[in-house]
């Protein structure tokens, strides 16, 4: 063991530093095992592969109970193999016995920061936690907002576009205005605008009025009409919501549609280039 910096051998002597102190900075998984127990030898390579997938987002410590029996007694280790998760200097979860790699991945995913934790929370039905984790991950790593993108897709597929849009709209502009995330954010903006009660909330500006009209046109699959209004919205106010109108037009242009319609939309966007 110990080939990778995030897969290391533990001992009774280094346990306070290696496990408890490190767990105050991030999750630490401790695998209690014995070379005399067959199930431990089955589980160990699976644990190593899963830890490698996480690439350091969770530290894996291998603790040989034959060599450190007093520590095992102190921690009430009665059956092997056993994996314990430590956070903030204390044990927060455990997993007993031999498990498959998908099961280990899900177990790690509950505690490791990033996209897998987001997806794990969503799968468990905790949408609020998934959204919070996604926002936190994107703020911590704005250059890689994959967690926010993944949970927004899941929310949209779950017919919760307002929540999906709210999640992406709360991200820093540098994160939500790039690549695929920018396209989804713009598309969701149109969907949410089309769902609004226009009588109850009148538009505040001509640019917003045109944007809402574009959203309604898009909801009727009138993509050309939608793009015409989006271009007009951008002409009225190029800075409207940090250029959202043109991003929405480009998002529509990426949708499957008739060749004639695509040509007209591309011509509209070319005029704005």
Q: Is residue 272 part of a domain?
A: yes
Q: Is residue 1 part of a domain?
A: no
Given a cut of 70, whether residue 253 has pLDDT beyond it is: yes
Q: Is residue 197 part of a domain?
A: yes
For residue 31, the cross-strand partners are: 62, 83
Helix axis angle for 179-195 and 244-253, nearest 10°, is 100
On whether the CB atoms of residues 101 and 50 are closer than 8 A, the answer is yes
Arithmetic mean of pLDDT, 66-71 = 94
The verdict on 170 and 187 lying in the same domain is no
Domain boundary among 60, 75, 100: 100
Q: Is residue 142 part of a domain?
A: yes
The verdict on 252 and 187 lying in the same domain is yes
The verdict on 184 and 160 lying in the same domain is no
Domain boundary among 47, 66, 100: 100
On whether the CB atoms of residues 148 and 134 are closer than 8 A, the answer is yes
**Number of compact structural domains in the chain:** 3
Given a cut of 50, whether residue 71 has pLDDT beyond it is: yes
The verdict on 157 and 194 lying in the same domain is no
The token pair that represents 135 in the structure block: 């926002």
The verdict on 141 and 220 lying in the same domain is no
**CA dist., res. 32 & res. 64, Å (int):** 6
Q: Is residue 105 part of a domain?
A: no
Domain boundary among 176, 205, 222: 176
Burial class (CB in 10 A: 0-12, 13-18, 19+), 58: buried
**Owning domain of residue 230:** 178-273
Distance linking the first and last C-alpha atoms of the chain: 56
The verdict on 202 and 247 lying in the same domain is yes
Arithmetic mean of pLDDT, 34-42 = 95
Instruction: Count CB atoms within 10 A of the CB of residue 221.
Output: 11
Q: What is the CATH number of the domain that holds 93?
A: 3.40.30.10
Q: Is residue 237 part of a domain?
A: yes
Burial class (CB in 10 A: 0-12, 13-18, 19+), 1: middle
Average pLDDT, the chain: 83
Q: What is the pTM of this model?
A: 0.49
The verdict on 229 and 260 lying in the same domain is yes
Residue 238 Cα distances to 232, 257, 264, angstroms? 10, 27, 21
pLDDT tens string 169-194:
888 787 777 778 888 899 999 999 98
pLDDT tens string 99-139:
999 899 888 877 876 555 666 666 566 767 776 776 666 66
The verdict on 85 and 126 lying in the same domain is no
Arithmetic mean of pLDDT, 219-242 = 90
pLDDT score at 67: 95
The verdict on 52 and 135 lying in the same domain is no
């Amino acid at each position: 063991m110990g080939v990778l910096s995030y897969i290391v051998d533990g001992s009774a002597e280094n346990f306070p530093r290696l496990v408890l102190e490190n767990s105050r900075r991030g999750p630490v998984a401790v695998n209690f095992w014995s070379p005399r127990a067959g199930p431990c030898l089955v589980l160990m390579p699976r644990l190593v592969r899963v830890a490698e997938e996480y690439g350091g987002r969770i530290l894996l410590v291998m603790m040989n109970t034959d060599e450190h029996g007093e520590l095992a007694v102190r921690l009430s280790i009665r059956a092997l193999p056993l994996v314990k998760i430590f956070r903030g200097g204390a044990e927060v979860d455990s997993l007993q016995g031999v498990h498959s790699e998908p099961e280990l991945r899900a177990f790690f995913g509950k505690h490791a920061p990033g996209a897998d934790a987001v997806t794990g929370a969503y799968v468990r039905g905790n949408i609020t936690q998934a959204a919070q984790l996604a926002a936190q991950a994107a703020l911590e790593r704005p250059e890689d907002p994959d967690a926010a993108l993944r949970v927004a897709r899941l929310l949209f597929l779950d017919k919760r576009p307002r929540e999906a849009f709210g999640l992406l709209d709360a991200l820093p502009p540098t994160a939500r205005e790039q690549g695929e995330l920018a396209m989804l954010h713009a598309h969701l903006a149109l969907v949410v605008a089309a769902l609004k009660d226009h009588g109850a909330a009148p538009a505040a500006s001509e640019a917003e009025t045109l944007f809402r009209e574009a959203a309604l046109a898009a909801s009727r699959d009138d993509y050309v009409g939608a793009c015409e209004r989006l271009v007009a919205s951008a002409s009225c106010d190029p800075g409207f919501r940090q250029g959202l109108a043109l991003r929405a037009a480009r998002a529509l242009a990426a949708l499957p549609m008739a060749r004639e319609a695509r040509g007209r939309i591309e011509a509209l966007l070319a005029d704005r280039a």
